[in-house]
Amino acid sequence: MHNGHVPEPRETRRRPGRRPTINDVAAAAGVSRGTVSRVLNGGHDVSDAAQEAVERAMRKTGYVVNQHARSLVTQRSQSVAFILSEPQERLFEDPNFNVLLHSCTQALAKQDITLLLTLASSLEDRKRLGRYLTGGHVDGALLVSTHSGNPLIPELLARGLPVVACGKPLGYERQAAYVAADDRDGARQMVSYLLSSGRRRIATITGPLDTSGGVERLAGYREALGGQPELVAHGDYTRASGEAAMLQLLERAPDLDAIFVASDLMAAGAMTALHRAGRRVPVDVAVGGFDDSQIATTTQPLLTTVRQSYPRIGAEMVRLLLSQIDGESPAAVIIPTELVIRESA
């Protein structure tokens, strides 16, 4: 069919195996394509009779709009990407992602925008993803857990794709929009609290230092310590790394009486290590976490931690992204953090 170059008369019957188009609907309803398109786009300036005829015709033909054709003219895809630049394992281990993903999905759903979760663990992945994203498939991107040096950020920025990062995107704070918790202040609050409750030898387990969360929480720890000798070990936000770092700290400083851990998940790991080493929490060692994730209420004893509201962070990220898609310039939002005292400190 259609392989000659003599124009055929416009065909109105539906060919088998072909999706119905707006032409089929128009023919069935006895109106023009323009009118069909108008009812598709809100039904303004359409008479009741026409509206009804078109709706009937759509049902009859089983019409579904072709998004590519629509996107080609509107330059909008009505979808945004949620990009996780992280080894997959973390996605599955860390409940924070879960909460963030959920709140972003919800916020976008209200605008009838689909969220596409894309994983970019390997360099290869990131390349393919770069092509995909800049090809117009999505209207914007939410970047989660981006370590400094992630090549996706400059690429997307250069292409002019609206982007919002979760946490300060190190090296691009000026150019990319972001939403971050007040990490530094949260850490400061926690360590001040530990000091005020009489602890004297306070260690910390940091997050990865190529993320703003890692850097800022460490800075808050130092700030609160105000020049007192510090005791630092590094983790990568996984439970296992928290356990290993705790073991190492106990070796280096058997007299430590408190620990501020830069995430709840690592804090859970640290508590396991403390338990194995025969230290009681909080009697021998006070433990403070960060996140106030679900984990904080399942540890034994319950975890004293710093709350950062991921639902709120997600909602703000979406708001910032949509406003950029509408032409506003990038902005940064800092969400306050709050000390939550439970049993571990």
Partner DNA sequence: CTGAAAGCGCTTACAG
* Angle CA 320–323–327, to nearest 5: 135
Distances (CA, A) of 183 to 242, 280, 325: 18, 28, 28
Residue 27 touches DNA, criterion: CB under 7 A: no
Distance between CA atoms of 235 and 252, rounded to whole angstroms? 16
Q: Which two tokens stand for residue 116?
A: 């596409």
DSSP 296: G
**8 touches, from DNA, a second copy, none (C-beta below 5 to 8 Å by class):** DNA
- Binding residues for a second copy, rule: CB under 8 A, are 17, 19, 64-69, 71-72, 77, 79, 88-89, 91-93, 95, 97-98, 101-102, 105, 109, 112, 114-119, 124-125, 128-129, 131-132, 134-137, 159-160
**326 touches, from DNA, a second copy, none (C-beta below 5 to 8 Å by class):** none
Residue 32 touches DNA, criterion: CB under 7 A: yes
C-beta of 143 vs 194, nearer to a second copy: 143
169-174 contact pairs (CB < 8 A, 24+): 169/143, 169/212, 170/210, 170/211, 170/212, 170/215, 173/332
CB of 52 to DNA, least distance (A): 10
C-beta of 61 vs 299, nearer to DNA: 61
C-beta of 129 vs 259, nearer to a second copy: 129
Query: Which string of x and - marks every residue 3-22 that binds DNA (by CB under 7 A)?
Result: xxx-xx---------xx-xx
Restricted to residues 40-99, the positions that interact with DNA (CB under 7 A) are: 40-41, 45-47, 49-50, 63, 65-66, 69-70, 72-74
CB of 185 to a second copy, least distance (A): 29
Q: Where are the alpha helices (DSSP H) in 160-295?
A: 183-196, 212-225, 239-252, 264-276
CA dihedral over 324, 326, 329, 334, signed as positive or negative: negative
Which residue, among 310, 233, 224, has the nearest Cα to 270 in the 3D structure?
Answer: 233
Q: Which two tokens stand for residue 174?
A: 């000026």
Distances (CA, A) of 26 to 32, 193, 259: 5, 70, 70
CB of 223 to a second copy, least distance (A): 34
CB of 325 to a second copy, least distance (A): 14
The amino acid at residue 67 is Q
Q: Which stretch binds DNA (CB under 7 A): 36-44, 105-113, 261-269, 304-312?
A: 36-44
C-beta of 77 vs 304, nearer to a second copy: 77
Footprint on this chain of DNA (rule: CB under 7 A) = 2-5, 7-8, 18-19, 21-23, 31-38, 40-41, 45-47, 49-50, 63, 65-66, 69-70, 72-74
